[in-house]
Amino acid sequence: MPLILNNNSSFILMNLAFTILIFSLNFLPHDAANITAATTTSPEFSTSVLNVTTALNQVHHVLSLKPSFHLHQNHEQQQQQTQHTLSPSSSSSFSFQLHPRESLFNAHHHNYRSLVLTRLRRDSARVSWITSHLNKSNLRPEHLSAPVTSGVSQGTGEYFARIGVGQPTQHFYIVPDTGSDINWIQCKPCNQCYKQSDPIFDPSTSSSYALVPCKAKQCKDSELTGCYKNGCEYDVFYGDGSFSSGVLVTETLSLGKNGSVKRVPIGCGHLNHGTFAGAAGILGLGRGALSFQAHIKASSFSYCLVYRDTNKSSTLEFNSPRPGDSVTAPLLSNPKLKTFYYVGVTGVSVGGRRVSIPSSTFAIKPSGMGGIIVDSGTTVTRLPTPAFNAMRDAFVELTRHLRRAKGFLILDTCYDFSSVTVATVPTVSFELSGGGSWRLPVLGYLIPVDDKGTFCFAFAPSVEPVSIIGNVQQQGTRVSFDLVNSVIGFSTDKCS
């Protein structure tokens, strides 16, 4: 006798069959399960494929990297003979190389878990520093480019650039930082200095070194500077207790094959303390008057942060055109806190579905709180707790078929991929107020935290109402800041 099913019973059986299929995958041979994960997607939501094997191979690779900072020295000596002077008011483009921290200054961690722990501790200090500024504020041209390497950030730091200082040129690794308004390096004589990879800058050997007098406009342009007996001095303090204090000077900065820029305001630090991982100081890319791009009157700058577990590099560029495939949003400013770059965001999506978060969550309030900052120094993206919970819960709902793992410090949503080579996961996107959607690379939101196959959702809650887009989410994406038209652009796979 044929079995007759009504609509309700058909629906129940279909769901039962899907449940049995998912359950049985856990008991398939690994190769069969991997093939299914790589080729099966749900018609109900959009997915990305995480190549677990490739990511773990890179994890093992980064632990074996040898420091490479010494490789630049001979090349730099050759470049010194061919430099030309760049005018701060010109519109030509130039760039620096950017390098990840571990490719230059491997700290010889015993395992990858230890490395991630160190990164997250630096990250917490960075976030504390940013929120302290927010709370305090609530109370009161040339196309240039340079290499960007994953390395240190302010009080932390995951990416480095190489620049020359003085005449004749002395070369140093520094941390490009969109959250800093002032450039500075450690200088002799050192009353107190932390250990750096290059010899400390000696101003007495530079013919282009000049003190900034108290009456100069540069000495009055920032709350970080003040007039003392010996002229203009500066003080910078960070959230983890790091600091730099010294005199404000002007110096020639050399940009490799791009040439040099004269009379750049830079702090010469005689009293310094911090965890800057071998870097000599900071290249300030914030919106303040003493920052590097303010001095050169840049119309734009951009960077692409390579994945931090590689030994590749990308570029920090000035006055270069924005990639044509960029998704864009308004570049906003906070009148209460002018240092940081805010982006117009209306929401987030998981699996192609808009998460139920009020758009006002990402708006800058009249008090100066709220908004969402794009920051090169923060590691893990922070969202206000209600917004984070909604996003996290949406992700968990669409990953019920994946094996969970214990949380890892601030990362409370983790997965055990130790028995698979690929995993299919929901997509994650920021919905921009310009109407576009910035879809993150899968390693921009699921990151390995050990060498065994534990991956965690790289977002964390913030007790403050401000949101911060960190450098994990920015990996593999060229982030372009159009300073003239107040537009920010995101273009994936533009690091080469």
Please count the other Cβ atoms lying within 10 Å of the Cβ belonging to residue 118.
Answer: 16
pLDDT of residue 74: 44
Task: Kindly tell me the number of DSSP H helices and DSSP E strands found in the chain.
Answer: 10, 32
Q: How far is CA 7 from CA 21, 252, 297, in A?
A: 21, 77, 68
CATH number of 327-492: 2.40.70.10, 2.60.120.10, 2.60.40.1120, 3.30.110.70?
A: 2.40.70.10
pLDDT of residue 127: 62
Whether domain 69-318 has CATH 3.40.50.150: no
- Sign of the Cα torsion 73, 79, 83, 89 reads negative
pLDDT of residue 218: 86
Question: Are the C-beta atoms of 52 and 442 separated by less than 8 Å?
Answer: no
Every domain of the chain and the residues it spans: 69-318, 327-492
Q: pTM score, two decimals? A: 0.81
The catalytic residues are 177, 375
Measured CA to CA, the distance from residue 69 to residue 99 in angstroms comes to 10
CATH topology identical between 69-318 and 327-492: yes
Residue with tokens 């982030």: 479
Closest to 82 (Cα-Cα) out of 207, 251, 257? 257
pLDDT one digit per residue (tens) for the chain, 496 residues: 443 444 444 433 334 343 433 333 333 333 333 322 333 344 578 999 999 998 888 877 666 655 554 444 444 444 444 455 665 555 677 777 887 765 555 555 567 776 666 666 666 556 655 666 665 544 333 344 444 443 333 334 568 888 999 999 999 989 888 888 889 999 999 999 988 889 999 999 999 999 999 888 888 877 778 888 768 999 887 766 678 999 999 999 987 677 789 999 999 999 998 766 678 999 999 998 899 999 999 999 999 988 877 778 888 999 999 999 999 999 999 988 888 999 999 999 999 999 999 989 999 998 888 999 998 878 889 999 999 999 999 999 999 999 999 988 889 999 999 999 999 999 999 999 989 999 999 999 999 988 899 999 999 998 788 899 988 899 889 999 999 999 999 998 777 6
Tokens standing for 120?
């997250």
pLDDT of residue 2: 41
Alpha helices in 243-384 (DSSP H): 292-295
Q: How far is CA 361 from CA 138, 371, 445, 464, in A?
A: 18, 7, 20, 11
pLDDT of residue 126: 64
Question: Are the C-beta atoms of 383 and 345 separated by less than 8 Å?
Answer: no
Residues 6+ away with beta carbon under 8 Å from 347: 354, 355, 357, 359, 362, 430, 431
